[in-house]
């Protein structure tokens, strides 16, 4: 089903078109991240983002992880508990401060993140292959701008 949006004529129209398109794409990529019946835990967006942050950035304290993911510490505590229960994250005493713990992605956690990324990237690569070279070029030029928007 091709639901192409009309070209926006104003910044407000552009904001609306981007919101709709990016939301649809994000929703579709979420669907692609797991394989039903694979035995992998069905992680929430926040759980997968926290696990991916540990995989990408290495060990962090719960407070650092909450800050990195821009969630409140009590919410992150629940996320961490689930990830530890699934043996995707390990807790260790912080070597510098024994009162603090450090979180690390386990091998199973790193593998889950890798598989999830591969599935989503493969799906997106198939969709990109359906575009014209000019459309792919436009997206290549827009990618850094979208990243800039995501960081603001």
Residue 82 sits in a domain whose CATH number is: 1.10.10.10
Contacts of 28 (CB under 8 A, 6+ apart): 123
pLDDT tens digit string along 61-86? 999 999 999 999 999 999 999 999 99
Overall domain count for the chain = 1
pTM for this model (two decimals): 0.77
In a domain, 49, yes or no: yes
In a domain, 21, yes or no: no
Among candidates 15, 45, 41, which has minimal Cα distance to 29?
A: 45
In a domain, 108, yes or no: yes
Percent of the chain residues past pLDDT 70, beyond the cut: 93
Is 2's pLDDT higher than 60?
A: no
pLDDT tens digit string along 20-60? 999 999 989 888 887 776 777 888 889 999 999 999 999 99
Q: Which pLDDT value is given to residue 107?
A: 97
Percent of the chain residues past pLDDT 90, beyond the cut: 68
Domain of 116?
A: 38-132
In a domain, 9, yes or no: no
């Amino acid at each position: 089903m091709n639901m192409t949006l009309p070209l926006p004529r104003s910044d407000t129209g552009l904001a609306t078109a981007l919101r709709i398109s990016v939301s649809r794409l994000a929703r579709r990529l979420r669907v692609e991240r797991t394989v039903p019946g694979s035995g992998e835990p069905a992680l929430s967006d926040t759980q997968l983002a926290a696990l991916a942050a540990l995989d990408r950035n290495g060990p962090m304290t719960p407070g650092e992880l909450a800050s990195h993911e821009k969630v409140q510490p009590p919410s992150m505590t629940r996320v961490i508990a689930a990830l530890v229960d699934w043996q995707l994250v390990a807790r260790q005493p912080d070597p510098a401060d024994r009162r603090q713990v450090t979180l690390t992605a386990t091998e199973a956690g790193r593998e889950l993140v890798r598989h999830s990324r591969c599935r989503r990237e493969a799906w997106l690569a198939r969709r990109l292959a359906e575009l014209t070279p000019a459309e792919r070029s436009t997206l290549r030029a827009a990618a850094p701008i979208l990243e800039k928007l995501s960081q603001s």
